[in-house]
Each structure stands twice: as structure tokens, then as C-alpha cells.
A = this chain, B = another copy of it.
Amino acid sequence: MTGPYTQPLVYFFGQGRADGTAAMKEILGGKGAGLAEMTTIGIPVPPGFTIASSLCNHYIESNQFPKRLRVEVENTLQRLETATGKHFGDGDNPLLVSVRSGAAVSMPGMMETILNLGLNDITVEGLTRQSDNPRFAWDSYRRFVQMYGSVVFALSKRPFDHLLEEARQRCGAGRDIDLPLDEVQALVRKFKEVIRAETGREFPDDPVRQLWGAIAAVFESWNTRRAIDYRKLHDIPDSMGTAVNVVAMVFGNLGEDSGTGVTFSRDPSTGERTLYGEFLLNAQGEDVVSGSRTPLPIAALRDTLPHAYQELERVARTLERHFRDLQDMEFTIERGVLYMLQTRRGQRSGQAAVQVACDMVDEGLISEEEAVARIPPNDLDQLLHSTIDPTSRLDLLTTGLPASPGAACGTAVFDADRAEQMGRAGQPAILVRRETSPDDFHGMVLAKAILTARGGMTSHAAVVARGMGKPCVAGAQDLQVDEKANRFSVNGRSIGEGDWITVDGSTGKVFAGQAALVTPEPSGNFLRLMQWADRIRQLRVRVNADTPADAHRGRDFGAEGIGLCRTEHMFFDGERLSAMREMIVAPDTAGRERALAKLLPMQRADFEAIFRAMEGYPVTIRLLDPPLHEFLPHEEPETAALAVELDMPVEHLQTLIDRLQEVNPMLGLRGCRLGIVYPEITAMQVRAIFEAACTVASRKGRVMPEVMIPLTASVVEFRKQAFIVRQVAEEVFRERQITVPFLLGTMIELPRACVTADELAREAQFFSFGTNDLTQTTWGLSRDDAGRFLPHYLEQGVIEADPFQVLDQAGVGKLIQLACDLGRKTRNDLKLGICGEHGGEPGSVAFCDRLGMNYVSCSPFRVPIARLASAQAALAARGTMDRTRATV
């Protein structure tokens, strides 16, 4: 409590002057700062004052106000009386005020408000005279006593509501305002009696006592259960406290030329430059909030009160010019005169965010940098994927992991063949599986969306779906999938084949039935914004693409190369899978080489198409990474079919499959370990890469392959694999009589690689951080199994975010930084990038920018997000970001 004694505690605003400014949110709260700033710039605002938020916790702890506050409030009250020409307790011209909370961060509906403060048996007569409307005056008095009873005396609302309802029924009054005067007057008396009976205390008639009671109640409302819970949920510190705004009353309920409402300065869904909101004639704010009357769209105000509407439009434009952003405003019209009660930055949809930002650049309101700085990158998801119409009535079944964004509806199917069949017939199907395997691939291609009960954000289902830009909810733990019976049950419900479901891969939610979807249209503004972002950013953005189709999609989204081409995904379909399986079960090197020879032309053709799609941009190809058993059938009928195909006794095949099983496949025979145990696999893949590269180069195409060794733990592993790569590359160059420049580097995805990065960089020309696996090993945490306790961890605050979605900078990030530092110490032109899921997560992108990486790489649909996030990171590095953020 040192601050409050050296800074003012109370900040007056009125008559075009204010003690506070918009920049003083911390002290005045959002509402108080807005009122002060509006006053200063000439917006019509009723005069008032704000009590600093720093007093809030002081009051809560000590249960008393500092003496200086009493002095300052008294002095400021005098300024308020002067400004309004009204006086507290004045029987002729009474000053009435509203008392509202207002923290630095918006906490809608969380804290208390008291209106009409200052009324008592004397001043109600003054209000009667002023308004020439006794029923209005007494109704205001009645509301005030009622509010005061529940807020300041903390009484239940029920006895008041009960008395009011009784009176209304007795008089047959539809609305409160229709009650006869004597009934209202009787209610005021009865309400005061309720207070006396329940608390043993008298309702205070003295407006100054009323005021202190209200201020205390607003401060105390900071500490109600629901406010505390809300803050916990939204990560708002308890120490922040709320300010208290005391504002001269204006009345929206003085007749049909009065009213109250809320409006955005532009449409927050579309960004259209037109007021968007709603209002009620002859009403006070709480009538809008309570929902007892249905408000009208703001456009209707143009006809009803055209002057007020014009004034509102003028105010909206002024505020937008001043704050240089979309505004969300509250207003009251008292007898045709507009008063603004609040303004703040308006929340908006992704589409509106882009539209507004671009329009404001065109209007000269903001710079292109500011436009780029103010779009939350993840909002772009809404521009790229279908979303559920927010007005839909939804029947939530369960929530899983948001594994691949977008929403889709379809009927549930439980096997891949059925999904494929329906897809070919043009019928929307959603493939529901306990988990997917390569055998499901053909069905996934034709399903509208994927839903799995097991597996994490990088399970087979999730990775494949993201690559295809198809919605996927993975790891919905509550789902009990009975694949034989073609149904799943969840929380007591049962869904069978043919039942409609809706899957939202952006939120992880699964609904019963067919929800209405909103499909985005690509806009020119989106492209402009991306261009601005591209001019600003330092980081290159690449795409994780495994097939020529992915590569093209990546280019369409602006990717400048492929950061991760997972060659194993090329093996997951049809005859490739067969050849792959033949290779895996081969008894010796010769057998493996025969099967690999079948795969060679397929891989070569894929690489050729990918190189062409990338038009000379770098393509980082990761050599075979997953454990071989991932390619083998998991169930008996498939094993039997494979045995026939391979002309092998099924028992023998089963033994081979069993032998390949691993206790911890994540930590088993995979990555470069495969290439070291079976060098012929590396040789085949490298041959495919360089034959494809030579073919493209020999037809004058540009091509820049970057061969990446996966899961390197020690420089010796790298050296062994690098030897094969260079040897085969030179062989191919000799055969084709052309040389293609290439880089040879490694994925950094093990802690050991990070701590020995200086040695690795002696041999490797680039590092690409595989942050998925690096997170798994650094935390000792399997993505596939974390679902059983990560929710507990998030709930109990052990972690702030799922480390597979948001890079754990304090832990994994330290290892990455160490690896970058050690690596560049040995090789100062070491190329650095990231290719895990985090490559498209804005906070993680900013981290990569700070470390001076060369690029980030992510799934196709996240490329625009990464481009925007990179630009914002660059602006933040220049210090521009903070400035532009502070003004919005």
C-alpha cells in the first residue's frame, strides 16, 4: 500500500477533462480508463470518478478505507456536483449515481453494479419533479432499494422478487413500469422492511452513506466464489483488484425518446463497416442484461431515434479513429441525448479480424505492420476450415483432443472399407475407430472426418488427418468403441452405424446429430494480410508434406519449401504397403533388397513430383523413422490375408510379427537405428531421392534436397548413415552424369543430441528440431499415454499448457537453445529449423524467432498461421509489436 499514498486514489472525469487516460487501465480498470479517455476527446459521457483498483485488496484485507480516500472522495464528489449542477440529497435537484466495478481485464457479469444511488424519500421527490414522472421516479427508487438490499446487504433476491411478483399479479401489470404508483411506493416500504427484518439494520437514507456502502460492496464482490473461480479459469491474478466507477446517472427509461443498448463499431462476425448491436427503448441497462425484454437490432434505432443514431455513428467513428480499432460500446439515450457509458476493444471472429484490419489499413487508420500485429494467428484457423454455426443447437457427446482442425458432419462408420464405400458413393461418413493404423488409410482418405478413442495429438489418425486437412478428434477417452458391433457408447449414450454425428477438430468436441456448418470463403484480404506478413517476417515457413498432393497444398498456402517429408507415409497404402511388409518379414539382406527394389520406383516417382511441386525450394526428406511393426497388421484376419499374399504359413508370420513387438516402441528400433541395422533401407531411400533429383535437374528444374537422418543420439550414428548417403549420392551422380547440390543434416529429437550438438554440427549441415519426440523424451512422457494424466495436470495447474501443443520453453526450450548454441559454436552457418507440431503454434514460432532459427515447418493448414506468427515475432523483436498492441 505504498502506491496509493503517493498517487491519487480518485480520478475525476467530466466537462471535457479527466484526471485519467486510456493508458491507465492498471489503475482505473478498463471501464474507468475508457470513460476518462472518452471524456477527454469530447465524447458525451456523464461525469463521474473512478476509485483506483489498488484500494480493492487493501479494503478486502483490512475491511476499512484509508482516511485519505474519504477526503479524496468527498472532494471529488464536490467536483461532480459542480459539473452536474446537482447535489447529493438535494430535494430539488438530486445527484444520482451508478456505482460499478471495472477491473483492468474484462470479467463480464462477475461483479456488482448499483444504479440510482442517491435516492431516498426526499430526493425521490426531486427526481419526480425533474422527470415529471412520479411512477418513473418511484420505480427507480424501488429498483435502487432492491439492488442495495441484495448487493450491499447481501440478501437473497428471492423475498424482493416475491413481493414484486405478488404486486404485479395483484395489479395485472405486465411490466414493472406498469405498476400503479401507490403499489410502487408500497414496495419501497416493504423492501426496506425486508432489509430491517433480515439484517436488523436500517436502509441508509443518507446518499453519502449509501455511496460508501456501495463502494465497499463492489470491492467485496472481487472476492466472491464465482469471481475467484472465473479468475482462476482465465488466469487473472487475484492481486489485480477492481476499480470502482461512480458515474452520474443518465436514464434510458424516461420514455419512448430514451433507451439503452450495446453496439460494436463494425460487425464482429464479418467485419462489415456498420454498427452492429442491439437496444431497448425506455429501459435501463439491467433490462437488457436480464433478458426480460427482447432487444431490437441497432439498425432499428436509425428509424426510431435518427438523431441519436447519427450521433452514435459519429461517436463510433471518432472512437475508432482514436483507438484505431473495432470498439464495443455501451450507451444510454436520455430524452434523445446520447451518453456513452463504456467503450472497449471489441472481440471479433477470425474473419472479421482480417476484414477490419485490412479495411483500417485502407482507411489510413493503421499501418500494415499494425494490421499484421493485431490478428491472433490462431484465428486464421476459422478462415481455413469449416466451423460449427454458433447459433446451432448442439448435443455434446464428449470431448477429445483437437487433433486436426475443422468441423464435419456425417454418419458413423466403424471400418475403413465401409468409409471408402460411402465416400465413393458421395455419402458423408465419419470413421470411428479405437485407433487407426496404416490399414485404415484408404478409408481415412474418403471419410469426412476421423474420430478415435485412443492416441494423442500425433497418433497415426492425427498426423494423417492433419496432412490431409481433414477434421480429426483423437483420444476421446470416454468412447467405448465396439468395432465388431459397429457402435460406440459414450457417457451412457449409444451411437451405431448410420447415426449422424458432428465432429469439431478445432475444439475436440463430438456432438450427436447433424450441426449446421459455416464454410469459409477465401478472401482477398486474407491474401493481402499474408503478403504484409511475408514482407515483415525473418523466419522462413515450410510445410510438413509427405506426398505430392500435400506439397502442392503447402505451396498454395505459401510454404517456402518442405521442412519435413516423412518418407514412411509413402508406404502406407496399397501395393507399397505390400512391398514394405515383404521387406520387413524377409529373412535376410537379399530378401530385403528384393522388396526394396520394388519400393524404389514408387519412392522415386513421389520424390520427383514433390521436387517439381516445390519449384526449387528446399525439400527436407527424413529417412525411414517408425518402428517396422507399425507397418504390420494388428489383427488376425489381416495377418491371415498377408500370410496368403506372402505365401507363408500364418503361424510363421505371426511369430515374426510377435518378435517385432516392443515394450516401448517410442524408444525402440526406429529412426537411424533402422538404417544402421539395415543399411540397405537407407541406400534405397537415398537412391530414390537422388535419382528423382537428377531427373528433375536434368530437365532444367531446380531442386534442393536436404537429406535428414532421424533420431540421432550420437555423432557416430550420423557419421555411419552420412557415409551411405554420400556414397549412394555420388554413385547416382556418376550414373546420371549430373550433380545436384544437397545438404545432409539431422533431426534433433533426443536430449542426447542436444547436449552433444557441438559434435553433431561437425558433421551435420543442418539441424531440424523434432519437438514432438524431444518433448516426449525430455519429459519422459508418451503422447499416446499422456491422456490419462495430462488433464489432471492441467486442472491442478501442474502445467499451464499441453507441452505437445505449446512448446515447453522452460524445459524443452532450454535443450533447444543449448543445441543451437553448441551447434553454431562448431559450424557458424548451421541451418536451424523446427519441424514438430509446434512449428505452427504462434508462441513456439516466436521462440524459434528469438533463437534465430532459419525456418519453422508445420502441417499445410497451419502454414498461414506460422507466416503470421513469424511476422509478429519479427515485429516483437523490433519492439513494434508492443507499441501496436498497447494502442489496441
Residues of A within 8 A of B (CB): 662-669, 671, 673, 676-677, 711, 713-714, 716-717, 720, 749-752, 755-756, 773, 776-782, 784-786, 788-789, 792-793, 796-799, 808, 810-812, 814-815, 818
Chain B hits for A785, CB < 8 A:
662-665, 667-669
Chain B hits for A750, CB < 8 A:
778-780
The 5 A-B residue pairs whose C-beta atoms are closest, nearest first, are A667-B782, A664-B782, A751-B751, A668-B785, A663-B784
Chain B hits for A799, CB < 8 A:
714, 716
Given contacts A756-B814, A785-B663, A785-B664, contact A749 B780 (CB under 8 A): yes
Given contacts A792-B676, A792-B677, contact A714 B811 (CB under 8 A): yes
Chain B hits for A751, CB < 8 A:
751, 777-778, 780, 811, 815
Can you give 7 contacting A-B residue pairs, CB < 8 Å? A667-B785, A668-B786, A673-B793, A720-B798, A750-B778, A755-B815, A777-B778
Q: Determine if B664 and A665 form an interchain contact, defined as CB atoms under 8 angstroms apart.
A: yes
Chain B hits for A666, CB < 8 A:
663-664, 666-667, 780, 782
A183 to chain B: closest CB distance in Å?
A: 55
Q: Determine if A720 and B796 form an interchain contact, defined as CB atoms under 8 angstroms apart.
A: yes
Chain B hits for A676, CB < 8 A:
789, 792-793, 796, 798
Chain B hits for A786, CB < 8 A:
668
A59 to chain B: closest CB distance in Å?
A: 31
In whole angstroms, how far apart are the Cα atoms of A436 and B782 in the complex? 24
Most buried by B among A677, A785, A788: A785
Q: Determine if B788 and A716 form an interchain contact, defined as CB atoms under 8 angstroms apart.
A: no
Given contacts A779-B752, A780-B750, contact A669 B811 (CB under 8 A): no
Q: Determine if B667 and A756 form an interchain contact, defined as CB atoms under 8 angstroms apart.
A: no
State the number of copies, please: 2
Q: Determine if A798 and B716 form an interchain contact, defined as CB atoms under 8 angstroms apart.
A: yes
In whole angstroms, how far apart are the Cα atoms of A797 and B720 in the complex? 10
A155 to chain B: closest CB distance in Å?
A: 38
A681 to chain B: closest CB distance in Å?
A: 13
The one of B677, B777, B811 in contact with A780, judged by C-beta atoms closer than 8 angstroms, is: B777
Residue of B nearest to A716 (CB): B798
Chain B hits for A677, CB < 8 A:
788-789, 792
Chain B hits for A668, CB < 8 A:
782, 785-786, 788
Chain B hits for A665, CB < 8 A:
663-664, 785
Chain B hits for A788, CB < 8 A:
662, 668-669, 677
In whole angstroms, how far apart are the Cα atoms of A755 and B813 in the complex? 10
A104 to chain B: closest CB distance in Å?
A: 26
Chain B hits for A780, CB < 8 A:
666-667, 671, 711, 713, 749-752, 773, 777
A534 to chain B: closest CB distance in Å?
A: 35
A161 to chain B: closest CB distance in Å?
A: 40
In whole angstroms, how far apart are the Cα atoms of A58 and B552 in the complex? 60
Most buried by B among A755, A782, A814: A755
In whole angstroms, how far apart are the Cα atoms of A812 and B673 in the complex? 19
Chain B hits for A808, CB < 8 A:
752
Q: Determine if B776 and A667 form an interchain contact, defined as CB atoms under 8 angstroms apart.
A: yes
Residue of B nearest to A674 (CB): B789
Given contacts A676-B789, A756-B810, A815-B751, contact A781 B663 (CB under 8 A): no
Residue of B nearest to A791 (CB): B677
Chain B hits for A798, CB < 8 A:
676, 714, 716-717, 720
In whole angstroms, how far apart are the Cα atoms of A792 and B716 in the complex? 13
Q: Determine if B781 and A713 form an interchain contact, defined as CB atoms under 8 angstroms apart.
A: yes
A712 to chain B: closest CB distance in Å?
A: 10
A663 to chain B: closest CB distance in Å?
A: 4
Q: A667-B780, A668-B788 are in contact. List 15 more A-B contacts (CB 8 A).
A: A663-B666, A664-B785, A667-B667, A669-B785, A669-B789, A673-B789, A677-B792, A714-B811, A717-B798, A750-B779, A751-B777, A751-B778, A752-B808, A755-B778, A777-B778
Residue of B nearest to A477 (CB): B659
Chain B hits for A669, CB < 8 A:
785, 788-789
In whole angstroms, how far apart are the Cα atoms of A665 and B781 in the complex? 9
Residue of B nearest to A759 (CB): B810
Chain B hits for A812, CB < 8 A:
752
Residue of B nearest to A785 (CB): B668
Q: Determine if A811 and B752 form an interchain contact, defined as CB atoms under 8 angstroms apart.
A: yes
Q: Determine if A667 and B781 form an interchain contact, defined as CB atoms under 8 angstroms apart.
A: yes
Residue of B nearest to A480 (CB): B655
In whole angstroms, how far apart are the Cα atoms of A616 and B717 in the complex? 48
Most buried by B among A671, A676, A777: A777
In whole angstroms, how far apart are the Cα atoms of A715 and B139 in the complex? 57
Q: Determine if B664 and A811 form an interchain contact, defined as CB atoms under 8 angstroms apart.
A: no
